[in-house]
Amino acid sequence: MMQRRFLSVLVAALACAGIAPVLAQTSALKGHNSNAPVDVAADRIEVQDRADRAVFVGNVVVKQAEMTMTSARLTVAYARDKKGNSTAGKVQIERLDASGGVTVTSPTERAVGQFGIYDLQKKIVTLIGAVTLTRGDSKVNGARLTIDLDSGHAVMDGGGAPGTNSSGGRVTGTFTVPQKKS
């Protein structure tokens, strides 16, 4: 009961401060075209064809439509169409696993974490480990960020292993407040 009352007071306070609209916004990646071509650049590539994957190492930059992902290392998991189809032998990217200072940017947002997963089939981007999401002057920190590219719904989780974020296992945020004219 006490917790529910606290949440009601918090929501009312945020609304009065003009912060609620910032929290209610969806990710700028809502409706991202996950069918757009994926361009990858790196210092080195190793194709592991029998395992249906390619490993990119060094200054990795991935671009798809208006989304960019950078990291030190990227593993691309792919599948090939079976023989007998009109698209036989064609490679279909299924998942990107990034590590080493992962940054995902859109035209208005920037998210940073230690590891990143982009599941192209489910259209979900996940960042893990000391995650920071920035939009304008507003910033949210946590252990894990999940963005649904269809809906734009973004969820930041706290917790995780000790040392995964500087907020002691909790989600923290700093939000700009619209300035009222005197």
Look at residue 181 in the predicted model and tell me its pLDDT: 83
Domain for residue 99, yes or no? yes
- pLDDT for residue 67: 95
Query: Which amino acid is residue 34, in one-letter code?
Result: S
| pLDDT beneath 50: ranges in the chain | 1-24, 86, 161-166
Query: Is residue 179 included in any domain, yes or no?
Result: no
Determine the 3-state secondary structure of 19 from DSSP. coil
pLDDT at 177: 83
Contact yes or no for 170/144 (Cβ under 8 A):
no
Q: Is the pTM of this model over 0.95?
A: no
- Which residue shows structure tokens 């304008």? 136
User: Is residue 151 domain-resident?
Assistant: yes
CA atoms within 13 A of residue 18's CA, in its CB half-sphere: 6
- 68 residue type, one letter: T
The answer to whether position 59 is within a domain reads yes
Q: Where are the beta strands (DSSP E) in 42-90?
A: 44-48, 53-64, 67-80
The total number of structural domains in the chain stands at 1
CATH number of the domain to which 19 belongs: 2.60.450.10
CB 54 within 8 A of CB 45: yes
Write out the residue range of the structural domain in which residue 43 sits. 2-174
Residue 65 lies in a domain: yes
Residue 180, pLDDT score: 84
pLDDT of residue 9: 35
In a domain, 182, yes or no: no
Whole-angstrom distance, CA of residue 147 vs CA of residue 172:
18
